[in-house]
Amino acid sequence: MSADTEAVRRAALDYLEGFCEGDSTRHIRSIMPEVYKYGYMWLPAQNRYNGSQMTWQGFKQYVERFNAAAAVRRATVSVSSATPPAPAP
């Protein structure tokens, strides 16, 4: 694998895994601060998508909120799926 191919692979993994893991150090490595991310959000009341542009700081804050909410969901599933103790005889 060439050095350029490896650099692109590493940047892509830092972007994707940084998002999934909420690791801003990986974003710092893979995303230039001048970036403007464009994303879409579904608006059910209007039955359509709405596009919006995000700065690097906005992107970082979104990832932090997304991962905080995911941590709560994981904790809830973990607690709700735990097997209750057997009743005492």
Whether this model's pTM surpasses 0.85: no
Which tokens go with 13?
A: 């993994």
pLDDT of residue 26: 84
Which H or E run contains 54? strand 48-55
Residue 50 zone, left/alpha/beta (φ > 0; ψ -120 to 50; rest): beta
pLDDT of residue 38: 84
Domain residues of the chain, as ranges?
3-80
What digits encode the pLDDT tens for the residues 42-87? 999 999 999 988 888 887 788 788 777 777 666 665 555 555 555 6
